[in-house]
Amino acid sequence: MNDINKTKIRNIIDNATNGYLESNKVQELLDAALIPRAKELVISNKEEVINTIKEIGFPLVMKVVGPIHKSDVGGVKLNIKDENTALETFQTMMKINDVTGILFQPMLSGLEFFIGAKREDKFGHLILCGLGGIFIEVLKDVQYGLVPITKKEAFDMLKSLKSYKIIEGVRGQEGINQDKFTDIIVQLSALLEVAPEIFEMDMNPLLGNSDSVVAVDTRIRIEK
C-alpha cells in the first residue's frame, strides 16, 4: 500500500466547516487517500457541456450537485449517449431547486457495493461494508470493523458477508477484485485516522469487477 497524503488531507479538513463537504473537496480527499474513484467533472455553464462530454466520453451519467437526495428530485440521469440528450438534461437539471451545478461521470458497470464510516464517541470510527441494493435494505448483509483496520481484517470482513459467494463469482458471473476492494477499506481506515473530524462517510455505490473497484458516489460529513 502507498502512503496517503496526510498534509493534503489535513489542509482540506482544517479549512472545512461542519456539514457535508463540497463535491470537489470530496474528490480531493479521495485522491489524497489513494481511494480510486470514477472520473468526474462539475460544471454550471451550458457552454461547457460539449467540452465536458469530450473529456468524459459516452455513455455518461449526469447528477445534480446541491441536493443531498439526488434521486428524490429527479437529479440523476443514466446512460446518456448523445449530445442533444446531454444538453437537454443539463438545462432541465439546472432548474431544480438548490442545484449549484451538474456532475458528469462515465457510465460504469460492475457489481454494486457500499463502504461507509461512522464516528462513535466511545470507540472511534466504525467502517461498514457490503453489497448494495437489496443486500443492505432487506437482508441487512453488512460487516463492521473498528479503525485501524489491517488488510487481513478487511479480508475477514469481506469473507464474513452472506453474499461472499457472489463476490467470488457464481454461476458464470464475474466476481470482483477482492484485493482492490480490501485496499479501499485499508486506505479509508488510514484516512479516518488522519481526519477524525469525519463524522460519517458513504461510498455508495462502488462498482467492482475482476479488474477494478471504484467509488462512484461519495458523501462526507464533517463535525469538529
Q: 190-202, pLDDT tens digit by residue?
A: 999 999 999 999 9
> Which CATH number covers residue 90?
3.30.1490.20
Structural domain ending residue among the three candidates 106, 128, 143: 106
Identify whether residues 177 and 215 lie together within a single domain.
Answer: yes
pTM of the model: 0.84
Give the pLDDT confidence of 101-137 residue by residue, as tens digits.
Answer: 999 999 988 899 999 999 998 889 999 999 987 777 7
* Cα separations in angstroms, 183 against 117, 155, 158, 179: 15, 9, 12, 6
DSSP string for residues in 185-218:
HHHHHHHHHH-TTEEEEEEEEEEE-SS-EEE--E
Q: Is there a domain that residue 216 lies in?
A: yes
For residue 95, the enclosing domain spans 41-106
**Residue that is last in its domain, among 106, 129, 144:** 106
Determine the pLDDT at residue 139. 80
Count up the domains in the chain and report the number: 2
Rounded Cα distance between 165 and 224, Å, is 40
Domain identity same for 23 and 86: no
What value does the mean pLDDT of the chain take? 92
One domain for residues 147 and 193 = yes
Q: Looking at the domain assignment, is residue 60 inside a domain?
A: yes
